[in-house]
Amino acid sequence: MLINRRTFIGISAGAAVAATLAACSSQAGSGSGGSSSGGITLWTHNGGNTEELGVVKEAVDAFNQANPDTPVTLKDFPQESYNDAIAAAAVSGDLPDILDLDGPIMPNWAWAGYLAPLNISAELENAIIDSAKGYWNDTLYSVGPYDTSLCFLGRKSAFDAAGIPIPTIDKPWTGQEFDDALAKLSALEEYDVAIDFSNADGAEWWPYGYAPMLQSFGGDLIDRETFATADGFLNNDKAIAWGTWFQSCFAKGYASQTPSTDGQDFLQGRVPLYYAGGWKVLQSQEAFGQDEVLILPPVDFGEGAHVGGGSWQWGVSSTSSNPEAANKFIELLMQDEYLVKYSNAIGNFPSVESATPKTNYYGEGKPLEKVYEIGKQYALLRPATPGYKVISSIFDKAARDIVSGADVKTTLDQAVKDIDADIVSNNGYKAP
């Protein structure tokens, strides 16, 4: 009995090790799963997001019917773990043929050689709005079916009560007017604080939401000409003015350092002004009625008003065994038909203008019209450099420190030091 048991354990351990090794080697070996049968694979981040996933599934079904020789196999991941899954697959050489990716991450993957340049028709390329196209090193690597825009959402009744003139898209608030508005709103009895800056959000929100304000002051995350240094941009006088102003909004009690997540403070009527984006408009209109919710443009702090641009986009991996089919699928997905479905499903605006009038929410007099106009007029992409992921992480930390009361200049100087050290240690992120 004892010998049997020993043998059994030995065999099972051997099997476990063999299985582990096999798993490792199969990850490293197969370029793209399923490609041997002629089909191609697709990964998407919208697992659990049934509306958006439904649109992708429809496109996949249509493509598979039209191209039975190169069927697309779809695999969906929840958004929280999607980037990790991609990074792990990329490192082990197991990327799918088609993948979607968050716009600002694209240059990092293109630089690392994980993405192949896109090869779509020039006509389509020209039709897509700038903020939905991912260029790096003068090459198109990704296109997105939609984009959205940042905006302020305001309660009309509160603005009337406080006697605040309502800014228009063509004539946004100046910094001074914005501060006046915050002061007046915070004087209202029925609200806790004047504004929710969405600072409860994590991950990419801080650079996406607050870097446009920094740029409006005249600072920036990095030198956009050379992408070689942040010195003189993230820590210049104007950037320090931004930091000082942003810090003062919390110090003066205009905004809470710990707002509820997901805009609940605004939706439950505790805050009259909310810095968010197109994705929150419908929900707010449902809560208060379309007339009560003001959709307001970003503030012009001196160097023009800006909002962040760039959302999820599609790209083709460099290991794809059939890039023609992959590009063909992306072209299909970018047809008006699917762009309209996307827009109706998730409330973002289509990235091709000809699709706009056919959507439920965008176009003349429709509820989200203003979101589109703000995006069209003010969108500024995040810097397209492979180092963006590091810049994003460092800026996130610096902005959080500033909000909690850190010395603005010291914080930004250290951020610049960290960003520049990273650029140097990567040989300037030069294209290989």
- In the complex, the smallest distance separating the C-beta of residue 361 from other proteins, rounded to whole angstroms, is 33
Q: Distance between CA 197 and CA 201 in Å, rounded?
A: 9
Q: Looking at beta carbons only, is 121 or 257 nearer to other proteins?
A: 257
297 secondary structure, DSSP code:
P
- In the complex, the smallest distance separating the C-beta of residue 310 from other proteins, rounded to whole angstroms, is 19
Q: Let me know how many helices (H) and strands (E) the chain has, helices first.
A: 16, 15
Residues 6+ apart with CB under 8 A from 211: 220, 221, 308, 382, 395
6 sits near other proteins (criterion: CB under 8 A):
yes
* Short-list 415, 426, 408, CA closest to 392: 415
Q: Which two tokens stand for residue 322?
A: 């059939």
Beta carbons within 10 angstroms of residue 203's beta carbon:
14
Q: Looking at beta carbons only, is 136 or 338 nearer to other proteins?
A: 136
* Short-list 215, 390, 389, 387, CA closest to 303: 215
78 sits near other proteins (criterion: CB under 8 A):
no
- In the complex, the smallest distance separating the C-beta of residue 246 from other proteins, rounded to whole angstroms, is 14
204 sits near other proteins (criterion: CB under 8 A):
no
Q: Which of 60, 90, 158, 408 binds other proteins (CB under 8 A)?
A: 90
Distances (CA, A) of 171 to 1, 309, 432: 87, 20, 44
- Partnered with residue 136 across adjacent β-strands are 139
Q: Looking at beta carbons only, is 64 or 393 nearer to other proteins?
A: 393
111 sits near other proteins (criterion: CB under 8 A):
yes
Q: Distance between CA 336 and CA 276 in Å, rounded?
A: 27
Q: Distance between CA 339 and CA 354 in Å, rounded?
A: 10
168 sits near other proteins (criterion: CB under 8 A):
no
Helix, strand or coil, per DSSP, at residue 338: helix
Residues 6+ apart with CB under 8 A from 6: none
Interface positions, 389-408, toward other proteins (CB under 8 A) = 389-390, 393-394, 396-397, 400-401, 403-406
Of 104-112, 135-143, 238-246, 281-289, which segment contacts other proteins by CB under 8 A?
Answer: 104-112
Q: Distance between CA 359 and CA 339 in Å, rounded?
A: 9
Of 7-15, 138-146, 287-295, 348-356, which segment contacts other proteins by CB under 8 A?
Answer: 7-15
Q: Looking at beta carbons only, is 259 or 308 nearer to other proteins?
A: 259
- In the complex, the smallest distance separating the C-beta of residue 386 from other proteins, rounded to whole angstroms, is 8
Interface positions, 251-310, toward other proteins (CB under 8 A) = 256-258
182 sits near other proteins (criterion: CB under 8 A):
no
228 sits near other proteins (criterion: CB under 8 A):
no
Of 67-75, 120-128, 284-292, 410-418, which segment contacts other proteins by CB under 8 A?
Answer: 410-418
3 sits near other proteins (criterion: CB under 8 A):
no
The 8 Å CB, 24+ separation contacts for 157-166 are: 157/292, 158/185, 158/188, 158/191, 158/272, 158/273, 159/185, 159/272, 159/294, 161/188, 162/187, 162/188, 166/294, 166/296
Q: Which of 19, 28, 91, 251 binds other proteins (CB under 8 A)?
A: 91
4 sits near other proteins (criterion: CB under 8 A):
no
377 sits near other proteins (criterion: CB under 8 A):
no
**Burial track 89-117 (b if 16+ CB lie within 10 A, e otherwise):** bbeeebbbbbbbbbbbbbbbbbbeebbbb
The binding track of 114-153 with respect to other proteins, each residue x by CB under 8 A or -, is x---------------------------------------
Q: Distance between CA 419 and CA 231 in Å, rounded?
A: 9
Q: Which of 41, 108, 348, 385 binds other proteins (CB under 8 A)?
A: 108
- Tokens 């007099």 sit on residue: 365
Contact at 8 Å (CB) between 197 and 275?
A: yes
422 sits near other proteins (criterion: CB under 8 A):
yes
- In the complex, the smallest distance separating the C-beta of residue 427 from other proteins, rounded to whole angstroms, is 6
172 secondary structure, DSSP code:
P
Chain contacts with other proteins (rule: CB under 8 A): 6, 9-10, 12-13, 16-17, 20, 87, 90-91, 108-109, 111-114, 192, 202, 256-258, 389-390, 393-394, 396-397, 400-401, 403-406, 411, 414, 417, 421-422, 425-427, 432
